[in-house]
Every structure is written in structure tokens, then in C-alpha cells.
Chains A and B, each alone.
Chain A
């Protein structure tokens, strides 16, 4: 009896050990965090933090990760805010007025993104250092597009040389370059210039299109973008089929040709059938007269 009890106790202990060890075997994944800086139309800059993890050798977006964002140093006074990653693994935050004084202290800043860790993921952090810069765009009467890149040196904006700039037109899905040149590089005056070759491109009802000058993923300046509306596009004349005679309109708006064809066929066939019914009446009359 005692022997059986000992075996049962031993089995219970072994099972418990297995459960505990399997629980301990759950390992936390590492997160990859990257910080990106954006400035559009030289207004309020914002940050986009991308969160991924490696699953089966592939980077996968991670949603629902809470990130604390700081300007230059991890302290209360430089706290930008807390942002959560969406289903694409992206968390967004504007640079708030609360860090305005800190922002004004220097032309170069470092952004910190801190994740404290949770049950699934290890704690992680990332940083990005950028220099303050801005882009200006001009449209010439001869349909040349000129962009000028400036960087902040001490308290003055000076031209930035050797920066790759894309000159483009804003379209529905993406930006279309203004000509065949994919990127332009700024000269000593910080300028790039290109001829607009998309003459027949559709604009809005007035022919307005949006020119874009942008710097993408630049190590020093981040992502800068500036837009300008010009009247260089073809006027878009909206063609509405609403309430017109089409195959997909309501019954009263059927195409005339279809109504004519259908009615002609129906009249022709049913005309014959009516003739044949009349023929029966004729045969009947003949039969009655034969009496």
C-alpha cells in the first residue's frame, strides 16, 4: 500500500516538474525598433516608430506595443508621448509643444523610443539622431521645378550640398517623378532643378496638380517633404453616367438600341404567334361553316 502511494506521489511530482519546466521553456522574443523622422511642408515634425520581430526567420510586424518616446534624453521634461504600434507595426507621435524649449536648444536632436518589455517580448530601445533641415519648392513659369535644401547651422539656415532630392507630382497611389530622372543632388547653393515633362497629366477640375520635393530616409535629415499646387495639369472633366441610358441603369433608363432590338424581336415573334392563334380561329370558322 505504501509502495503504491510512493509511486503515485513520484508520478505527481514528475508531472509537476514537466509542467514547470515547460512553462520555463517559453522564451521571450526580441523586438526590432526603428525610429523615423518626418517633416511635411515644414510644419510640425512627427515620428514613426516601426516595430517588428523575427518569426521563423522572417520579420513580422508587431501590433499593440506601447513605446515611450523622448527627445534627447530619457526624462520627464523631454517626454514626447506614448504611442502604440498598429497592425502594420507602426506607432506615430507628433513632437508636442511641451518639448518646444528643448527642441529649440540645438540644431541636432536624438529621439529615443523605449519599450519596457512584457510577457512576450524583451525590453528594447532605439534612437535616431537628425539635424534640423527644411526644403523649399518653387515652380518657374517655364515649367521648371526648383527645390532648395537648407540645414540649420547655429541659428542660421544654410544651403545643404550633396543631398538627394526627388522632384515629383503627387498622384493617387504614389508620387510620379516630374521627368525621367529619379533623383537630383543639390549643388553648393542647396538647389536642384528639373524640367516638368508630364504635360498631359490629369489634374483637378481647374487643372491643378501638386508638385512635391522630398528627401527620403536621409541619414542626416530624415524624411522631408514639401508640396506646391500649380496649374500645370489637364483639366479633369468628370463624366457621370448617373441617370443616363446605360446597361446598368434603372429600368426606365435602358439604352435605346437595346429597347429597340428587344421590342422588335418581341413584336416580331409574338406577331407570328398572334397570327397563328388567329389562324386557329379561321380554321374554327371554316369548320363551323362546313356544318
Chain B
């Protein structure tokens, strides 16, 4: 009887909750930002890419920076779900759904933003009709599609037992959601055979998502590294991108877990211990990323090749230096220092560090794309003055912010539809720990 009450309490705590006043304002704000972005995109469709500040030299601007950022964030699905699971990290279980939701939302907008960058959207269709398998861009299209599909499956399989629970609460879910749950998971009866097949599938997914995740970001890095330009001509790029992606992904999970914990009162399930452990993970990833940054910048700085001098000086002391050192210190170094202290791994400081990491990472992607394009190997001659610099137009900002808002909107809506913490898994763990305590 007591056990049943405890289970009901857990289920009640973890069932998706309707938006309160703050939730509605949040969703309304995100929709408004998305609509402004949509308006800017309509202007771009109507007048062409000329409404952006991208010109002959900076032909990849804030859109591609944003694309790389989204691809980076999406990697967290493979880190928290697959790597933690295969490594036997039990404490990460409540964070898996958050990670998968972030991964799905980010990969959706990574695909959308690349179509935005193409200008005319029909060019995306041409990519399939005329695309060449020799081109890293096609590899990226293939691998993003694959990763999206795997992420959906990895979100879906562990959801099945929870759907069965959700179907028990028809009145709380509402008619439409109940229909939806019924459609996607009414067949789940929780039989041992079903569990066996599901477990097997999840294990296969966890194993296969890791190489695909590594490929998606390595191939994204190759879009740059296979191009002979200052700053991109690097053999370090694949590993450098993956290290950075894990860091920003972990940072985004920390931010999301803090917000969900506060918004849905999940203190019992996402504990201070989770923040402490995620803080430690973040330190490890930040140190790894620092190592790759040193590799990426120290050796070119030491050689200071004439062709790369302008680019490097622009980063270290020139036009982009404030953004560069902000991304390094606020996005990497300061988080390491804060998280090394036990007090720094409390929920609020870790949340703030998570924001620092995510914001720093966004600017880092901007620095990967733009400064290189402003320093071609051949000097710029006889070009209009505005070709020499790049600052995004309001349309670019609106579309970029719209895509970021869109990602957060998808995360918010998925958290409204599905339990943000796996209910069935929590119940099982609770049951196991109770038995252990009784035996002890």
C-alpha cells in the first residue's frame, strides 16, 4: 500500500504539466521571436540574400555559425544517453530525456538554418538532384539526416513504457494528447518480450549513435578543413569540433535541467548531486577543449605564417579580439575555475556556468567562420568598402534569434507533451533502492 502511494507520488511529480502563467508568457515570447524571424525570412525570400550582410568574401556568416552551434549542441544526445549508458553511469538516467529532446530540437534547426543560408529553398532539392558524393556538403546532408532519425528513435524507444503510464491519466492529459499517446504507444503492454526487444534496440541505438555523432560533427568540421583558408587549414579540426560540441552540449543540458527543475519542482529527481556530477563532467570537457584550443592556436601563432598573420592578429589583438578572449575566458577558462570549487558545483553556480559555456560557444562558432573569410590568401582588390567587413543585418539577427527561439520552443513543447524525466525508469530505480535498503 505504502509502495503504491510512493509510486503514485513519483508518477504525479513526473507527469507532464500544463503551462502556468510563466510558461504561457515564455511560449508566447518564443513564438513572437519566431514570427519576427519568419518575417525576416520572408523578406529574404522576396528580395534575396542581398538583405543579409554576406557578400563575395564573407559568404558564410552568422547562419553557418548558428548551424555549427546547433550541430554541436545536438551531440549531447549521444554523450548523455549513449556514452553514459554504455559506461554504466547510472546517475545520468534522469537527464537522458532532456539530452535527447535537446538533440532532436537542435538537429531540426540545424537542417532549417542550412536551407535559410542557401537563399532560395529549392536549392536544397537541387542538392539531392545534382549533389556529388565527392562533396563534404553531401556527406553532411546524409549524416545529419541519419543522426536526426537515430535521435528520434532514441527518444521514442525509452518513451514507450512512459506512454503506457501517460495513457492511464486521460483526464489530466486532455483529449488531444491522449489521442496522440494512444497513436504512438498504445501497443506497449510492458510484457517481458517487449522489454527485451526494446532493451536490445536501445543498446543497438546507443552503440550506433556514437560513431554517427562523431561523424556528424567531424564532417561539419571538414566543410571548413577541406577548404584551403587561414584558420581552417587544420588537421586538428575534427577532434577540436567534437571536444567543443561535447562541452556546449553538456552546458546546454545543465541549463535545461536547472530550468526544468525549478519550473516543475523536480528537486527530488534532479538533485544537487546531479549538478555536482555534471559540473565535474563539464570541467573534464572544458579541459579537453582547452587542450584542443591550445593546439589550434599556439602552433600557428608560433609560426606566424605571413598568409595567416592578418587572421591571427585580428583574433588575438585586433578587430575580433574582444569576442575571441570572451569566448576563451568566459566560455572555457572561468567555468573550469568556478567548477573546481565544491561551492561552484551547487545548482545556481553550475547553471550560470552552463549559460557562460553556451554563450561562449555560440561566439566561438562565429569566430570559426567569419574572421577566416575576411582574410583570404589573395588580397582583396577593387571591391566595395562593405566587402572588407561583416556585421550581420537585422534580418540575419532576426532569423538567427528566431531559430534559437524555435529550438527552445520545441524543447518546451516536447517537455509539455512527454515526461522530462523517464517515469518507468525512475520507478524501477526507486523499487531497486527500496529493496536494497530493506535487505540492508
- A179 to B365 CA separation, bound complex (whole angstroms): 56
Q: CB of B382 within 8 A of chain A?
A: no
* Chain A positions 264 through 277: 1 when the CB is less than 8 Å from some CB of chain B, otherwise 0: 00100110110111
B193 touches A254 (CB 8 A): no
Identify which of residues 268-325 in chain B touch chain A, using a CB-to-CB cut-off of 8 Å: none
Known: A269-B146, A290-B189. A254 touches B132 (CB 8 A): yes
* Chain B positions 189 through 201: 1 when the CB is less than 8 Å from some CB of chain A, otherwise 0: 1010110011011
- A269 to B205 CA separation, bound complex (whole angstroms): 10
B194 touches A248 (CB 8 A): no
B187 touches A251 (CB 8 A): no
How many chain B residues touch A (CB < 8 A): the figure is 29
Q: Classify the interface of chain B: helix, strand, loop or mixed.
A: helix
When distances are taken between beta carbons in the complex, the residues of chain A under 8 Å from B205 are 276
Q: CB of A255 within 8 A of chain B?
A: yes
B187 touches A284 (CB 8 A): yes
A259, A273, A282 — most chain B CB neighbours (10 Å): A273
A273 touches B134 (CB 8 A): no
The residue of chain A having its C-beta at the shortest distance from the C-beta of B200 within the complex is A279
When distances are taken between beta carbons in the complex, the residues of chain B under 8 Å from A200 are none
Q: Classify the interface of chain A: helix, strand, loop or mixed.
A: helix
The residue of chain A having its C-beta at the shortest distance from the C-beta of B211 within the complex is A269
Expressed in whole angstroms, the minimum distance between the Cβ of A210 and any Cβ of chain B is 33
B189 touches A255 (CB 8 A): no
- A279 to B186 CA separation, bound complex (whole angstroms): 16
Known: A247-B134, A250-B132. A288 touches B212 (CB 8 A): no
- A254 to B138 CA separation, bound complex (whole angstroms): 13
* Chain B positions 149 through 181: 1 when the CB is less than 8 Å from some CB of chain A, otherwise 0: 110010011001000000000000000000000
Identify which of residues 72-129 in chain B touch chain A, using a CB-to-CB cut-off of 8 Å: none
How many chain A residues touch B (CB < 8 A): the figure is 28
When distances are taken between beta carbons in the complex, the residues of chain A under 8 Å from B208 are 269, 272
The residue of chain B having its C-beta at the shortest distance from the C-beta of A255 within the complex is B134
- A258 to B198 CA separation, bound complex (whole angstroms): 35
Known: A266-B142, A272-B208, A276-B153. A258 touches B133 (CB 8 A): yes
Q: CB of B42 within 8 A of chain A?
A: no
Expressed in whole angstroms, the minimum distance between the Cβ of B235 and any Cβ of chain A is 18
Q: CB of B394 within 8 A of chain A?
A: no
Q: CB of B341 within 8 A of chain A?
A: no
Identify which of residues 164-206 in chain A touch chain B, using a CB-to-CB cut-off of 8 Å: none
Give 14 pairs: A residue, B residue, CB < 8 Å, sorted on A: A251-B130, A254-B133, A258-B133, A259-B133, A269-B146, A269-B212, A275-B204, A276-B157, A276-B201, A279-B197, A282-B197, A286-B189, A287-B194, A290-B189
9 more CB-based (< 8 A) A-B contacts, given A276-B201, A277-B153: A259-B133, A262-B142, A269-B212, A279-B197, A280-B156, A283-B188, A284-B187, A287-B188, A287-B189
